[in-house]
A and B are shown apart, each in its own frame.
Chain A
């Protein structure tokens, strides 16, 4: 839940218009495709439409607000952004973003931190790059990437390649190679690879509990499980239908017996009626009326 809120916050920042802020949930849903589009478009545009870019640059050069130092930072940010996106997009499916791109992301983060920590003099780069206009493009671009990084939990698993992650990888590879070796005979595969797979599965469950999962691991495990359950069909079959049904119907039979027996054997509860005293004259009066009518 908390995670979602954070994402929503990002969403609101992304689109400043009040309408979008109103339906923040929608924004958060739309955020991902939009982002991907951004990622795809941006580097391409920098290269392919360079004349336009140049003309813009010349405008910028005329901008007295922007110092050379800041311009360098901005260029640096752009380069690293590009390299990160170049890495991230191909790693989208199957998800390997944490594994492949954590170095690029770290570099991007460093340059962003440089920008945002640059606040020495009144003409600092933080203000001129991050807060100078309504769009706050640099801020937004980085914020979105950071959100993606958070949602993917990349900081959990690939904070350097931790020991646990490496062990997981080993187990995964073992299972996969077992699958590979028994590919042709599924029933045999289920029998032979069960130990490996079970080991992997249990290890994964422990990781899940300790919250040391990043999206790469989750995705690889999901794929493996799909292989195991769907493709190789090694799930547990429903074998014990008869005993389960027998036990259940016995259990359900008990109340019926209980109600029947208490109906037949328990004596029925009777209530003793009490006749309160009423005004006698009233009755006789009414009887007279009755007789008259």
Chain B
């Protein structure tokens, strides 16, 4: 009955509001006459610190639902069967291009990071070696810290100044996009450029980050760009693929791009497809899946091919992903090891939940206090310096020396105080790019690391990685999680090996399971992550244990805290729709959920009215039901729905009834596509006083068959419609088909199941 009490408190909340203060209008304008009802405008103490229980106004839905207006029907009628085939073929071409370009970008990032990082490590190594002999080691700490900070500063500056949306891994943003939320600027070319540059800087800068997450974002941007056949930023229109210039098609391609990104990052084409499936599954069909798989395959192949050229043996396709876990030579696992793996999964869940909780508090602090861009840059610089320092201290204090084996070249061996011919063991994980470190932990032979080293590494890296995620740099959390998990996994492996029972031979295997557990505990992905891990290992035999590990870590982790991406989506106040409506919400009906009254238009509407409604800044509505035969206090019958973007295009082209004879040609669907996706704001459209008196006939342009529900529809039913059809507006009608309200994404997303039953999120300006 928790929801009932909540409902009561909600209604009483409305009662508490002081009436009569004229702010926070939604559609309370002179133009809002038809559907308007007696309602006081309400105000509350309305400034609160940022928290997770908010929904931001700046996010809108994608128009996934096709608008079947007359223009659309006409255009479709004109298309020949051949035309449809061409469209289908161009879909395939686009998917191929997406894969190719994504692979190319991955390759570019990889090679640049490799070259620059090698250069950096060589310099630092030279100085450390020199200072060990001559004294003055603290100078080498400072040198290392300054080098790192310089790189990170470059990356962070670019991100903070040019494109803040490029910060972080980008996976939460892409998740939202696939969920149907339009995140501003997330799939622009500029974002891609900033992202690529930022990722190179932050990886080279030695932060506890990886370049895999950003690859997914990059793939999505590539997809969104390629499928449109033009770039608005570069003002270049190739006049191709015009058919795909709408949200429906674009979003399908973006899911292909995300898949291609995963595929390039991990060499996991199937994992990529499943990632898209897991994150954007509500809109899915078999042909799309097949195309996405094609894009993924092309992407991993491209990366592989260009890397083989770079490595000097073209055609030897041995590096399918940015990270490659390498083959495990020891072969399979034993049956008695499975319980150990499951326990490791639980450990991963607990550690992951701890990581997420810590990061949650840190992120709240960042949003509240570190919101100026110069502060963000300083924070990133300090983190880079601290990372270098901590690594240095650990290396300095470590007594763990190893002799390099015959088959494992250590890339930048640091001797420090080790005997000649040996190198510092902890330096092989800290003094290296994180990908290499992961591989070292997986594959270096038993005894390469002593347990104390691994413990210290795990301990410090946990905090470093947690601190680093959420800085204003482009960087992912995949690799740090893997590295962290590999470290404590190997620690467990070491302990088992040293326990004197000879059956536990290979600590590398435990490192793999630990990595899976830790990653699963942090990001809580299930199906796709299992496949990604299996593919990156190249060993299907490990499928079952990895799956068990991920299952356990998710169950255990979910008990304590949410997944990292979900936390960040919440903290961004995104109206994200989960898989299903929150439990115990059946008693809510559309009537309580909807926004009301609704701003409606006539079939033929005065231009002045439309302009006034559209330019109302306090209520930026996007969908307007078209009604007929209304009276002043009765809502009208619904006969269609029109979008703000359509109205703006109509106004721009001045499609007025009175000017019909002056117009040269009829407006086509192409005109709407050309304006997509950046429709001009209403303020930029000039409407003269004369024109205000004109009228517009909207019949031709509106969607004549919008989805409607009766008032008594329950919340879960409405939710299902939204989730399954990708709706943006759902009109609520009474039994005479009169418009009484409008349900949008934010109306639904505000309900969520909290600790005290059903809670309601508040709308806020961010």
Q: How far is the CB of A258 from chain B (nearest CB, A)?
A: 6
| Cβ-defined partner of A277 (8 Å) among B57, B138, B597 | B597
Assess whether B667 is interfacial by the CB under 8 Å rule: no
Assess whether A282 is interfacial by the CB under 8 Å rule: yes
Assess whether A122 is interfacial by the CB under 8 Å rule: no
Q: How far is the CB of A79 from chain B (nearest CB, A)?
A: 33
CA distance A236 to B428 in the complex (A): 20
Assess whether A87 is interfacial by the CB under 8 Å rule: no
Q: How far is the CB of B423 from chain A (nearest CB, A)?
A: 12
**A47-55, A108-116, A248-256: which lies at the interface:** A248-256
CA distance A32 to B592 in the complex (A): 80
Q: Are B407 and A3 in contact (CB under 8 A)?
A: yes
Q: How far is the CB of A274 from chain B (nearest CB, A)?
A: 4
| In the complex, chain A residues whose CB is within 8 Å of the CB of B50 | 269-271
Assess whether A286 is interfacial by the CB under 8 Å rule: yes
CA distance A192 to B691 in the complex (A): 99
8 Å CB interface, B584-616 against A: 591-592, 594-597
Assess whether A278 is interfacial by the CB under 8 Å rule: yes
Q: Are A271 and B48 in contact (CB under 8 A)?
A: yes
Asked if A258 meets B133 with Cβ closer than 8 Å, knowing A252-B390, A271-B48, A278-B595, the reply is no
Q: CB-nearest residue of chain A relative to B594?
A: A279
Assess whether A4 is interfacial by the CB under 8 Å rule: yes
Assess whether A222 is interfacial by the CB under 8 Å rule: yes
Q: Are A248 and B419 in contact (CB under 8 A)?
A: no
Assess whether B122 is interfacial by the CB under 8 Å rule: no
| In the complex, chain B residues whose CB is within 8 Å of the CB of A244 | 137-138, 141, 392-393, 396
| Cβ-defined partner of B763 (8 Å) among A255, A263, A273 | A273
Q: Are A240 and B138 in contact (CB under 8 A)?
A: yes
Assess whether B740 is interfacial by the CB under 8 Å rule: yes
Asked if A237 meets B417 with Cβ closer than 8 Å, knowing A269-B368, A273-B764, the reply is yes
| Cβ-defined partner of B46 (8 Å) among A228, A272, A276 | A272
Assess whether B38 is interfacial by the CB under 8 Å rule: yes
Assess whether A86 is interfacial by the CB under 8 Å rule: no
| Cβ-defined partner of B49 (8 Å) among A225, A266, A268 | A268
| Cβ-defined partner of A262 (8 Å) among B49, B136, B375 | B375
| Cβ-defined partner of B370 (8 Å) among A4, A262, A283 | A262
Asked if A287 meets B385 with Cβ closer than 8 Å, knowing A229-B420, A279-B596, the reply is no
Asked if A266 meets B369 with Cβ closer than 8 Å, knowing A225-B420, A244-B138, A258-B378, the reply is yes
Contact indicator per residue, chain B 116-153, by CB within 8 Å of chain A (1) or not (0): 00000000000000001101111001100100000000
Assess whether A73 is interfacial by the CB under 8 Å rule: no
Q: How far is the CB of A130 from chain B (nearest CB, A)?
A: 30
Q: CB-nearest residue of chain A relative to B54?
A: A271
Q: How far is the CB of B102 from chain A (nearest CB, A)?
A: 28
CA distance A151 to B764 in the complex (A): 69
Q: Are A248 and B49 in contact (CB under 8 A)?
A: no
CA distance A255 to B383 in the complex (A): 7
CA distance A225 to B415 in the complex (A): 13
Q: Are A275 and B389 in contact (CB under 8 A)?
A: no
| Cβ-defined partner of A286 (8 Å) among B11, B43, B49, B385 | B11
Q: Are B26 and A277 in contact (CB under 8 A)?
A: yes
Q: Are A282 and B419 in contact (CB under 8 A)?
A: no
| In the complex, chain B residues whose CB is within 8 Å of the CB of A275 | 17, 24, 42-44, 763
Most buried by A among B11, B141, B763, B764: B11
CA distance A282 to B595 in the complex (A): 11
Assess whether A23 is interfacial by the CB under 8 Å rule: yes
CA distance A194 to B136 in the complex (A): 20
Assess whether A94 is interfacial by the CB under 8 Å rule: no
Asked if A274 meets B24 with Cβ closer than 8 Å, knowing A235-B418, A269-B49, the reply is yes
Contact indicator per residue, chain B 738-759, by CB within 8 Å of chain A (1) or not (0): 0011000011000000000000
CA distance A242 to B604 in the complex (A): 83
Q: Are B596 and A278 in contact (CB under 8 A)?
A: yes
Q: Are A247 and B138 in contact (CB under 8 A)?
A: yes
Asked if A266 meets B382 with Cβ closer than 8 Å, knowing A235-B420, A279-B596, the reply is no
Q: How far is the CB of A172 from chain B (nearest CB, A)?
A: 14
CA distance A15 to B346 in the complex (A): 43
Assess whether A290 is interfacial by the CB under 8 Å rule: yes
Q: Are B764 and A272 in contact (CB under 8 A)?
A: yes
Q: Are B14 and A278 in contact (CB under 8 A)?
A: yes
| In the complex, chain A residues whose CB is within 8 Å of the CB of B49 | 268-271
| In the complex, chain A residues whose CB is within 8 Å of the CB of B133 | 236
| In the complex, chain B residues whose CB is within 8 Å of the CB of A262 | 369-370, 375
CA distance A258 to B371 in the complex (A): 14
| In the complex, chain B residues whose CB is within 8 Å of the CB of A121 | none
Q: Are A1 and B367 in contact (CB under 8 A)?
A: no
CA distance A115 to B197 in the complex (A): 61
Q: Are A270 and B48 in contact (CB under 8 A)?
A: yes
Asked if A25 meets B57 with Cβ closer than 8 Å, knowing A271-B47, A279-B741, the reply is no
| In the complex, chain B residues whose CB is within 8 Å of the CB of A178 | none
| In the complex, chain B residues whose CB is within 8 Å of the CB of A4 | 407
Q: Are B375 and A266 in contact (CB under 8 A)?
A: yes
Asked if A235 meets B419 with Cβ closer than 8 Å, knowing A25-B329, A255-B386, A286-B7, the reply is yes
Q: Are A247 and B141 in contact (CB under 8 A)?
A: yes
Assess whether B765 is interfacial by the CB under 8 Å rule: yes
Q: Are A269 and B369 in contact (CB under 8 A)?
A: yes
8 Å CB interface, B246-266 against A: none
Asked if A270 meets B47 with Cβ closer than 8 Å, knowing A251-B145, A255-B383, the reply is yes
Q: Are A222 and B370 in contact (CB under 8 A)?
A: no
Asked if A271 meets B765 with Cβ closer than 8 Å, knowing A226-B419, A240-B138, A277-B595, the reply is yes
Assess whether A201 is interfacial by the CB under 8 Å rule: yes
Q: Are B135 and A240 in contact (CB under 8 A)?
A: yes
8 Å CB interface, A87-127 against B: none
Asked if A286 meets B419 with Cβ closer than 8 Å, knowing A258-B379, A278-B592, the reply is no
Q: How far is the CB of B669 from chain A (nearest CB, A)?
A: 33
CA distance A273 to B132 in the complex (A): 59
Q: How far is the CB of B611 from chain A (nearest CB, A)?
A: 22
Asked if A1 meets B407 with Cβ closer than 8 Å, knowing A262-B375, A268-B368, A272-B46, the reply is yes
Assess whether B331 is interfacial by the CB under 8 Å rule: yes
Asked if A277 meets B386 with Cβ closer than 8 Å, knowing A225-B421, A228-B420, A269-B367, the reply is no
Assess whether B39 is interfacial by the CB under 8 Å rule: yes
Assess whether B15 is interfacial by the CB under 8 Å rule: yes
Contact indicator per residue, chain A 45-89, by CB within 8 Å of chain B (1) or not (0): 000000000000000000000000000000000000000000000
Assess whether A221 is interfacial by the CB under 8 Å rule: yes
Assess whether B372 is interfacial by the CB under 8 Å rule: yes
Assess whether A180 is interfacial by the CB under 8 Å rule: no
CA distance A251 to B407 in the complex (A): 38
Q: Are B141 and A271 in contact (CB under 8 A)?
A: no
Assess whether B91 is interfacial by the CB under 8 Å rule: no
Assess whether A246 is interfacial by the CB under 8 Å rule: yes
Q: Are A23 and B382 in contact (CB under 8 A)?
A: no
| In the complex, chain B residues whose CB is within 8 Å of the CB of A277 | 26-27, 39, 595-597
CA distance A278 to B687 in the complex (A): 32
| In the complex, chain B residues whose CB is within 8 Å of the CB of A191 | none
Assess whether A230 is interfacial by the CB under 8 Å rule: yes
| In the complex, chain A residues whose CB is within 8 Å of the CB of B393 | 244-245, 248
Assess whether A33 is interfacial by the CB under 8 Å rule: no
CA distance A200 to B741 in the complex (A): 87
Q: How far is the CB of B697 from chain A (nearest CB, A)?
A: 29
Binding site for B on A (CB under 8 A): 1, 3-4, 23, 25, 151, 201, 221-222, 225-226, 228-230, 235-241, 243-248, 251-252, 254-255, 258-259, 262-263, 266, 268-280, 282-283, 286-287, 290
Q: List 11 A-B contacts (CB under 8 A).
A: A225-B421, A226-B421, A229-B420, A235-B418, A238-B417, A241-B396, A268-B368, A273-B47, A275-B42, A276-B747, A283-B11
3 interchain residue pairs of minimum CB distance: A229-B419, A225-B420, A271-B764
17 additional contacts (CB under 8 A) given A23-B331, A269-B371, A270-B48 = A1-B407, A226-B419, A229-B419, A244-B392, A245-B393, A258-B382, A271-B47, A273-B765, A275-B42, A276-B746, A277-B27, A278-B14, A278-B596, A280-B596, A286-B7, A286-B8, A286-B11
